[in-house]
Amino acid sequence: MSTIKLSKLDKMMRAGRGAALEVAKTPSPPLRESEYGLKDIPLDLIDDNPRQTRLSMNELDLQELSESITKGGLIQPISLLKNGDRYTLRAGQRRLAAHKILGLETIKAIVEDSDNSEKSLFETSIIENAHRENVDPLELAISFDKAIKDGFYKSQSELATAIGKTEGLVSQYLSILKLAEPIKEKLSSREVRVGVKDLYRIQKIKDKSIQVEMFNRLVSGAVSSMDLLSEIKQSFSTPITSSLPYWDGKKKILKLKLDVKRKGKEETLTILRNIIKEIEAL
């Protein structure tokens, strides 16, 4: 039997073919399905956004959304962040709530692998909710205030830039927190809906009882938004008379001896404010 001598190159090629055959015989492991993208996610694995700006939801709106999902399915998937073996809701609180009402076990969701910080969740929630037509000004005001106090942003200007709003508008929202408690309670209960600009105008009134009066007149339809603006402007330009016994405008002398018990706190504060206005007008 003749012996064929193989060159070094032939030996390498034969060895390569042998290795390839061995690899071909070895079964490949199944491809791992991606954890991200469009998925059907069990509802019991989804945690609420800890920085959700929407504090409450209208039951009638939820019922209408539930009926819409029953008839036509979920048109827009919710957005989730992967968080270990669970998921954190990023956007779609109402859609998730509607699925729970319907007793569904899963929901279509776009799962993302991104920054799961509370600041990121806050900004997503703000951007989702701040542009709704029926946005609740008080809810946004509370969220803005908390975000600044928690150190997410150094200033109103930085917050405004992050959420795509003007600094002036952010300031108007934050001013709502100065409103009288009865007004904030009505806003929280969703008994009424009032725009941020009207609420901003009302909070300019220092007397809380007058704030409540103006607010009630506005929501009852007794005055329009334009009437409200006109009345508030007029109240700031009304001639000051209550401080005259204590202030000599000609001699520029202040004679201040107030009996707070007799006058009462509100009247005393009104007198002091009027005196300050007199002095500022010098």
Instruction: Kindly report, residue by residue over 203-235, the tens digit of the pLDDT.
Output: 988 888 888 988 998 988 888 888 888 877 776
Count helices and strands in the chain by DSSP H and E runs: 13, 7
d(CA 66, CA 96) in angstroms, rounded, equals 10
What are the residue ranges spanned by the domains of the chain? 37-116, 136-238, 244-280
User: What count of Cα atoms within 13 Å lies in the side-chain half-sphere of residue 81?
Assistant: 18
For the ranges 45-54, 92-101, 152-161, which has the lowest average pLDDT?
45-54
Which of 135-144, 158-167, 211-220 has the largest mean confidence?
A: 211-220
Q: Which fold has domain 37-116?
A: 3.90.1530
pLDDT of residue 56: 62
Asked if the model's pLDDT at residue 2 lies above 70, the reply is no
For the ranges 165-169, 179-183, 265-269, 277-281, which has the lowest average pLDDT?
277-281
Q: pTM value? A: 0.51
CATH of the domain spanning 136-238: 1.10.10.2830
